Structure 1
Amino acid sequence: MRLALAILACLVVSAGSAYAVGPKLNCQDPQTQAEMTQCAGDEFDAADKALNAQWKLTRAALVETDANLDADQKGAEKALLKGQRAWIDYRDGQCEAEGFSVRGGTMEPMMVASCKARLTELRTKELKSLAEPQ
């Protein structure tokens, strides 16, 4: 009985992974709403990854800035963290609000993900400019 259950579990896992691998999605020409939503999600994931990489660089630059300041002048890293936390709240709220234009429809997740990608790309540029020497 245990062997039969183990074999059945392996078959279910194998079948599920076959669907996960499937053909690569062409985000240059998505054909369905599901594909458009997936592409928007992928775009946001890529933007978020780039933002996280830039965050590390910017934070390191502002830690260095703090290290070169007198004690009463320090606070660059703390200000960056405060700004980033506020920005995340802003981005999420703004994109949720934009999603209300198609509230409850199949386009809503795509609209929210596209908004998050757009704002995240802008924030990455802002973080990059903070890290550049003045």
Structure 2
Amino acid sequence: MKMRTMLVAGALLLGAMPVLAQEDVDCGNATTQADMNICANEEYEAADTELNTVYKQTVAAMRAKDAELGDISADYVGAEEALKKAQRAWIGYRDGQCELAGFEARGGSMEPMLVSGCLAQLTTARTEELKALLEPTEN
């Protein structure tokens, strides 16, 4: 029983090592592939955080638009649902496209960087698309 506990603890410690090492990476001067992988992932995580913030704002804006248009006609309501449908489809596209991007270095140490870089790029672009929905349109 003790051996099993030690193996589980060892596996958990090994799994935590990349997180511990991540704290020491200077992404402005990343030179090793491991550091570049960590930095690309950090860039994606930052882009994803911003996307989630903007998405919540956009959902609220579409909900307000539905309420406004619903006063005119129930047939005009559906902006919030259309946004959610588009976002679900976009997530599937993003994930598949970035998995494909990783095949350039499939199985190599560069693959995580390529995937994370793709995720960051597409996520940033989607955030800009969502921000455009928040801007008032001229009639």
Same-fold call, TM cutoff 0.5: yes
1:40 and 2:40 aligned: yes
Q: What TM-score, normalized by structure 1, do the two folds share?
A: 0.84
Instruction: Decide which of 117, 127, 130 is 2:130's aligned counterpart.
Output: 127
User: Which residue of structure 1 lines up, in the alignment, with residue 117 of structure 2?
Assistant: 114
| CA deviation after TM superposition for structure 1 residue 29, in Å | 1.1
The equivalent residue for 1:72 is 75
- Offset of 1:133 from its aligned partner? 1.3
Count of equivalent residues: 123
User: Aligned partner of 2:37: which letter?
Assistant: T
1:82-126 CA-to-partner distances (Å, cap 9, x unmatched) read 000000000000011111111110100110000000000000000
Partner of 1:89: 92
What is the distance in 2 between the residues matched to 1:28 and 1:124? 24
Query: Aligned-pair distance for 1:24?
Result: 3.1
In structure 2, relative to structure 1, the CA distance for the partners of 1:125 and 1:44 (3 Å cut) is same
- Partner of 2:59 in structure 1? 59
Cα–Cα, structure 1 residues 83 and 41, in superposed 2: closer, same or farther, change >3 Å? same
CA RMSD for the aligned pairs? Answer: 2.3
Is there any run of 5+ residues in structure 1 with no aligned partner, and where?
1-8
CA contact (8 A) 2:22 2:38 kept: no
SS of structure 1 residue aligned to 2:55: helix
Shift of residue 20, structure 1, vs aligned partner: 2.0
Percent pairwise identity = 52
SS at match of 1:31: coil
C-alpha separation between the residues in 2 aligned to 1:94 and 1:85?
14
Q: Which amino acid aligns with 2:57?
A: L
- Secondary structure, counterpart of 1:86 in structure 2: helix
Determine helix, strand or coil for the equivalent of 1:127. Answer: helix
Sort the Cα spacing of 1:67 and 1:106 in 2 relative to 1 into closer, same or farther, 3 A.
same
